[in-house]
Structures are given as C-alpha cells and as structure tokens.
A and B are shown apart, each in its own frame.
Chain A
Amino acid sequence: MGFIKIINILKYFIIFNISVITIYCISFSARAEIMERTLKNGLQVILKKDTRAPVVTSHIWYKIGSADEVSGKTGLSHALEHMMFKGTKKNPGGIFSQTISKLGGKENAFTSKDYTAYYQTLPSQYLEEALKFESDRMSNLVVKKEDFLKEIEVIKEERRLRTDDQSEGIAYEQLYANAYANSSYHDPIIGWMEDLDHMTEKDISDWYDNWYAPNNATAVIVGDIDFDKTIKLVEKYYGAKKPVKITERVKRNEPYQFGEKNVSIKIKGKPSYIIMGYKVPSLNNKNIESWECYALSVLSGILSSGQNSRLQKILVREKKIASYADSGYSMFSRNDPLFLIDVNPIIGKKISIIENELEKIITELKTKLVTKKELERIKAQVLASEVYQRDSIDYQARVLGMIKTSVGDTKIIDQYTANIAAVTAEQVREVAKKYLVSNLQTVVKVNEKIQ
C-alpha cells in the first residue's frame, strides 16, 4: 500500500545479534501438530511438526532479559548473549558457528526485556549437531577477559548504530526511562552507555551462572521432525543437566503516576517526531480480565493496521500532517507494557498540531463505538495472518517461545483467534476509557520547536 514504513517502532522490542527483524502481526495456527514436555530437570520442550521442507529450526529460550537487571548493571543480558558466541572448553572460539555454517545452517540470537533466545535453522538431518553445541553452551561457557574487552566495544558500536545516531531510537529509550518510575522496563535492553563502560567479564559470568540452566529455559523445535526421535535427542543432550536454584526475581511494581508526563528532547539535525506510551496490562496481569488485552490488541489494529486504519486515514490522508503513523501493543510480556503510538510529521508540520489531532482521535475512541466494518477488518486480518505465518518455521518457533517464556502457557494459542473475534465495540471503548488516560500517559517529543 503506498508506503511501507521503514522504521517500525516494534523493531525496538527486541535486539538481534546480527540483524533487526520486525515482529509485525502476531497470530497463531492450530496446535494439532504440537507436542509439549517438561524434562525432570525442569527444561520445557515444545515440538511442532512442519514437513513442507527438509528443514528444522531449533531454539532455546532463557527467561532472562533486561527486565531482570538492576540499576548500574543494565545491558547484562544482551552482553551475555554476545559472549555466548565465544565458545566453551570443549568447543572453543567460533567452532559452533563454523559447524552450523558448514552444515548449511543459519543462526542468530536476540534479547528482549523478558527473554534471551538463540536459534539455528538448518537441514533437518543435522538437528542433532545443533542440539549438541547449544546444550554444551548452556553450562560450559568460558568468559575470557580478552574476548570480553573486544566484545564490549562491539556492543558499544551496536548502541551507537541503533540508538545514539538514531533519533527514533533515542526517543524510544527516553519514553521507557520516563514512563516507568520503578518497573524494570525503565532501562534499555542494550544498556546505558555509562553501564557498558563499567561492565566486567565477572558481571557476565555471574549473570550466566545465575540464569542459564534447564529449569529457566524452553527448547522449541519446529520443522521436518519426528516427535519421538526428537524428544529422545533433547533428553540425550539436556537430560543430564542439573537444575540450579534460580535467584528470586525482584518484583518492581510500578507506583501510581500522578499525571501526564511530557518530555521534550532536542537532537541536532534531526526531523521532529513524537512517540507516546500508555501503561496497559499484559496477559500476566492478574488484576484484570484477559478480554481487556484482546480489546487493546483490536484497538491497536483499529488505529494502525492497514490503509483505512484511523491514524493512517486521519493523520496521513485527511489532515495531511503525518508521513507515517503507527501504534503497537503486545499482550505477551511478563510485566505491564506500554501501548505505543508514534508519528512522523510531514516536514514543516508542527508537533502541536499532531498532538491535537491525536487527542481528538483518542477522545473519539472513548466516546463513540468503533464500527462493525472496522472490527470485521481486524478479524479478517488476524484470520489471514494465522495462515500466512505458516510460511515461516522460524516465525512459528518464535511465537511459541515468546508465549511460553513471557506468559507460561501455550494453550493461549488455541483460543487466540476466537478471543480476538469475541471483542465487541463496547469493550474497545471500555479499554480506551480505562487506559488511554493522562495519568497512564508519557509523551516524548523530538525537536518540537524546530522546523
């Protein structure tokens, strides 16, 4: 459709080791071909059969992310992810990566606020090789000072590339830092540069010892596999690993916010930009009913999915004040996330005009019911993307890993489409009234006075 937005705000949700991949529209397919097991040592295993091609993707997800870090030590989970490629006693240096490459495989890793995950995608007959190496580095990583000193410089370059030289990256980081007073979502996944400067190899190996264990991990394998053979392989390589006592996660509940937070930042030489976030519940929030999360998802679709969505229609087409506008919400997060809206004004249009129009759009959502046509559009899109996503085994594995790690129960998949379909116009209005309010809102404006 006309334009495809190049920088999608959702890209900041997770950091990939090598490249950025955007998780766009989340939907799920039926679980007929899924098998779940928990090994005696606590490792959770999810297998999914997809025999379209002789290919398999093997993931391991650790329930550890920037949300578990504390002030002064931010960026540890992501830095550890980098160091995981430095080798073990048995497989030093880049032997793991070299082997995967030689077998024709691809590999990567990514870190989010909630989790750290590693994967290899390769011809299915080589699955065992991937499991052999991956299980080895679950417990035998060697963190050498000389490797760390070089890798931390790589990470700083990554930070410069993704955040410091990108005004939208800075704005995103500032949004979370200002929105959350206590929740650990306050800190950036990659860490503050000041903390990267002070990080040591000891911090990394302590972090590794604390969190990398079978009882804090989920193995997800999707592709051309046989369930019995595969579960035996997983047993073979992970079964003997000892569980460790997982440090209790510090519960950092977010206190009451007394009003709207407004942050105006100046970045030399960059166009103006606005991003805002409302504190909303995740499926993990036990104080709400889960339909609220589905209604918030539909609300985000009403705002930004497709050419006829409200942000697109009003800001881009009717008022002609924005070149791009987007919204984003993921119910699959461990703590309460932000419901995001971001807009790039047409060059020369003032941020204040955008703010006024956003205000009107939000007021309308709180006072009037969305149309039947809009609801049907969202449902059709979710239904279709449930089919489309089957075109990628890696995507299927990522959805399973994400849900298991952040919400704990993959049965949600069975009901997802039905739950979206059950959302009513009244429910959309109700969540808009409840959550799109000033004392849950934080706004970051880049160069609001500069034209």
Chain B
Amino acid sequence: MNKTIKTIYFLIIMTQANLTQADVEISKYVTKNGVEILYTKSENIPMIDIKITFDAGSNKDGELKGLSMLTHSLLDEGTSKMNSEAIASAFESTGAIFSTSVNKDKSSVSLRSLADKKYLEPSVKMLLKILSDSVFPKSEVILQKERTLSSISEDKSDPSEVSSNLFFKEIYGNYAYGFPSIGSEESIEKIKRKDIINFYKENINSSNASIAIVSSLSKKDIINLSEKISKSLSFSSPKKNGLNNFQKNNKKKYIFKKFNSEQAHIYIGGQSIKRGSKNHLPLYVGNYIFGGSGFSARLMKELRVKRGLTYGVYSYIYPMKNIGPFVVGIETKAEQAQESVRLIHKMLKEFHANGPTDKELTHAKEAIINGFPLRIDSNQDILNYLSMINYYDLPINYLNTFTDKISKITKKDILRAFKEEIDVNNLITLVVGNEKAKK
C-alpha cells in the first residue's frame, strides 16, 4: 500500500493595487505504515525543519495531570545506549536544535538542522533513536519531576499564571481543558516512571502521528526521511483522548481572587467553538475587529488609546479539537479594575447586538487578505501551518482558500456567529489583584 498522493497548490492573492503572488506548494505523502506527511520545498536556505505532531496533548493525562508534558520533556534524557549528555552532544555538535512542545490537544517533537548530509544525518539518527528507544532513566525522572515542581511553585507567585490557570478551571471545571498542561504539585508527586513509559508507548507511535517538513531537500530525500521516521515509530492503537462527553456549558459568574500585585489581571470569557466549526472564520473576523488586531481593534482603541487604562488588552477565539475558549484579557492597576470590567462587558454586549460597522469590516477584510503573504513568509510559519492542517484534518487547500473565504464574510455572518457561539450574558469574569481591585 505504497500510495503517494501528490497535491500541488498555487496560491494567488489578488489585492486592489496590483497582483501579489505568494506560492506555497504543499505536497502530501503517506508512508508505508500510514503516517501522513505534508511537505514544502524551500530552496533558498540550506536547512530543514521537521515537526512530528502527536495526538498526545495534556488531555490524555487522565488523573495524572502533567504526564504528557513530563514525558515529552524526558524524551531526550536517555536511550538504551546513550545518556542525556551524549544525546545533547549529538544534536549540539552539528548546531541542530531538538525541541518538544505540549498543549492541551497535541504534542510535537521538532528538529531544525542544516540540510547538508554531514550535519543532518547524525541528528536524524538521534531523532529516530529518541522516537523508538527512549528509556526514561530513573535519575532523570526524579530530576525532571523536581524541576517541574519548582516551576509549579514559582508560577504561584506570578499573577498572570495564577489568573489564567484559575480562569480555565472556571470555564472547563473538571474537563481536561481546565487543567494546566504542566500539572499540579499533587499530580506530579503521584507520577511514577512506569506511568511515563506507558504514556510513551501508548502515544508516541505511528497511529497518532503526522509529520510536517519544510526543507531544501529533494522529494526523494524527503520520502526516504519520512519512511525512516515513520518506521522508527512503533504501532499500537492509541489511547482514547480525554475529549469525549463534553457539552457546551456556559454560566455567568464573577470571581475575585486576592493577590499581592500592583496590577489586577482580568479575564472575561467562556467556551466558544471547535476546530472546523462553520462559524470559525466569521468569529475570527469579528474578533479581529473587537480585540484581535492590536491597535486596530476596538478594545485597544477604547481602553488604551482613548483612556490610558492599560498597556495591553486583547481578545481571542481559540478553536480546539473540542470546544475552545473565547477570552478577553487585560492588566491594569488595581484601582481601575472594576472600570475596565464594566467597559469590556458593555463593549461586548454592544458588539454582540450590532456587530462591526461597515467601515470596520471592510478594513479588517482588507488587512487580513493583504497580510496573507506575511503569514507564510518563513519556513517556520509554513511548518506550523502544515502541522495544523494535518492535525486538525483541515483540507489540504486550507491556505489556498483562506483569503477567498475571508472576502465573502458579511456582517450578517459575524452577527449570526457571535449569537450562536458567544453567550455574552453567561460569561466568567475573573479579577486577580489586591483589595483595591475588588468590587
């Protein structure tokens, strides 16, 4: 079943002034054991970026919160034949960069290297060993747990960590998205080496992996490399993720948490949409206008420019595998906390009822469409898109159709999407700050 599906897309972007052309040629390949690869050739720089994405984010932690992150941070700390130092040497001696990341949905293992075989081969060899033969030495597990505990403890003194953790807990309760990926002191204490080994075996495997590659390599080399990576991954049916049985459920609640800081950290929001929702792009454009475009957005204009209340205020909609959040965030000195909360609620209700003005909508659409070449102007950007398209099962022409879809969005679409997805009367409002910030 050696099937090669090649899909080529040229993106042509029309702007009012003249023709801009930005091409991303995305090719797809499926390895012998079924791992999907999306790759793009970028000839001008002799380097390669590989990102292997696993359906193994912290939603798979189960009761042992922090397990996914701990496992990923230990991947390069020992194989059956090499210790941590030798592994680091293998990458560093050629200037290669190995890294891992974990969020609530997914995890990834990445390698950046020079493309020349002399540099690339040793680090790829190392990468394959990590994927197939990571052994999680006892002493490394103890050390990494200790560092994680230290980090969790430090976070407790940081108002932005305290407030965001509390906010997501309020929005999602005991659902997987309600817990920070790093875990808690109690859960990290409970994690044993065998839990980590099991997580690795169950999740770092070919059945839930996809690969994105941006490089100056030839097609033949990319296919060879992909087969090697895919072969190094074991196969087992992956553990189910923790994303089932979750119904959208928003409620109105105000929470004040006392914290010894000069500024109050404020979050307002609730659950919004999944990846793939038909309302995603209308919400994206609506949010762009409301709080998602820096100084062009209403929130910045009103709270920073007009009133000098804050250095930064923003909103975002973050669609995830299951229902992601809608968030408005601001930091302001404690005395101004309640004024800011009132203003934001008022602005939200107004936007929800009336949507953007025609002028705002035209501006936003032009900005997004004209700015499209900037989204794909580096290998790093393209790599992240390839990985996202693969992981969230988006159509391979996602980038190709993006600006066209944006151009068709109307005020009506935005109003409808906000009415359907953002319940402005049932939002969580959290204020973390000193006594002066209290209602």
> Is B128 interfacial (CB 8 A cutoff)?
no
Bound CA span A165–B369, Å: 39
Q: B93 contacts which of A152, A158, A376, A385 (Cβ < 8 Å)? A: A376
**Contact in complex: B378, A320 (CB < 8 Å):** no
**Contact in complex: A101, B99 (CB < 8 Å):** no
Given contacts A122-B374, A123-B15, A154-B310, is CB(A320)–CB(B146) below 8 Å?
Answer: yes
Q: A54 contacts which of B93, B332, B373 (Cβ < 8 Å)? A: B373
> Is A55 interfacial (CB 8 A cutoff)?
yes
Bound CA span A89–B333, Å: 33
Given contacts A157-B310, A317-B143, A346-B150, is CB(A101)–CB(B293) below 8 Å?
Answer: yes
Identify the closest chain A residue to B112 (Cβ).
A388
Which chain A positions have C-beta within 8 A of B47? 387-388, 391
**Contact in complex: B377, A52 (CB < 8 Å):** yes
Q: B150 contacts which of A53, A102, A154, A347 (Cβ < 8 Å)? A: A347
> Is B151 interfacial (CB 8 A cutoff)?
yes
**Contact in complex: B150, A323 (CB < 8 Å):** yes
**Contact in complex: A1, B88 (CB < 8 Å):** yes
Bound CA span A101–B374, Å: 12
Contact digits for B1-40, partner A, Cβ 8 Å, 1 yes 0 no: 0000000000000010110111000000000000000000
**Contact in complex: A105, B374 (CB < 8 Å):** yes
Which chain B positions have C-beta within 8 A of A30? none
Identify the closest chain A residue to B72 (Cβ).
A2
CB distance from B162 to the nearest CB of A (A): 11
B43-89 contacts to A (CB < 8 Å): 44-47, 73-74, 76-77, 84-85, 88-89
Which chain B positions have C-beta within 8 A of A123? 15, 20, 370-371, 373-374
Which chain A positions have C-beta within 8 A of B438? none
Which chain B positions have C-beta within 8 A of A101? 293-296, 363, 367
**Contact in complex: B92, A392 (CB < 8 Å):** no
**Contact in complex: A55, B262 (CB < 8 Å):** no
Main secondary structure of the interface of B (DSSP, over half): mixed
Which chain A positions have C-beta within 8 A of B74? 2
Given contacts A160-B262, A160-B263, A161-B263, is CB(A391)–CB(B157) below 8 Å?
Answer: no
Interface centre among B98, B143, B372 (most CB of A within 10 A): B143
Given contacts A157-B309, A157-B333, A308-B85, is CB(A391)–CB(B151) below 8 Å?
Answer: no
A117-132 contacts to B (CB < 8 Å): 121-123, 125-126
**Contact in complex: B309, A55 (CB < 8 Å):** no
**Contact in complex: A316, B147 (CB < 8 Å):** yes
Which chain A positions have C-beta within 8 A of B157? 167, 269-271
Which chain B positions have C-beta within 8 A of A122? 371, 374
**Contact in complex: A306, B88 (CB < 8 Å):** yes
Contact digits for B118-156, partner A, Cβ 8 Å, 1 yes 0 no: 010000000000000000000000011011011101100
Q: How many A-B residue pairs have CB under 8 A?
A: 200
Bound CA span A385–B96, Å: 9
> Is B395 interfacial (CB 8 A cutoff)?
no
**Contact in complex: B378, A391 (CB < 8 Å):** yes
> Is A151 interfacial (CB 8 A cutoff)?
yes
Which chain B positions have C-beta within 8 A of A151? 308
**Contact in complex: B263, A4 (CB < 8 Å):** no
> Is A256 interfacial (CB 8 A cutoff)?
no
Identify the closest chain A residue to B76 (Cβ).
A1
Contact digits for A81-101, partner B, Cβ 8 Å, 1 yes 0 no: 000010000000010011001
Which chain B positions have C-beta within 8 A of A385? 95
Identify the closest chain A residue to B380 (Cβ).
A391
A139-173 contacts to B (CB < 8 Å): 149-158, 160-161, 164-165, 167
Which chain A positions have C-beta within 8 A of B304? 154
A1-58 contacts to B (CB < 8 Å): 1-4, 18, 51-55
Bound CA span A388–B157, Å: 36
Bound CA span A55–B144, Å: 42
Which chain B positions have C-beta within 8 A of A55? 373-374, 377
> Is B94 interfacial (CB 8 A cutoff)?
yes
CB distance from A48 to the nearest CB of B (A): 14
> Is B117 interfacial (CB 8 A cutoff)?
no
Contact digits for B358-392, partner A, Cβ 8 Å, 1 yes 0 no: 00000100111111111011111000000000000
Bound CA span A105–B378, Å: 15
> Is B173 interfacial (CB 8 A cutoff)?
no
Which chain B positions have C-beta within 8 A of A98? 296, 363
Nearest first, the 8 closest Cβ-Cβ pairs linking A and B are A384-B95, A104-B370, A104-B371, A307-B88, A150-B308, A153-B308, A53-B377, A158-B311
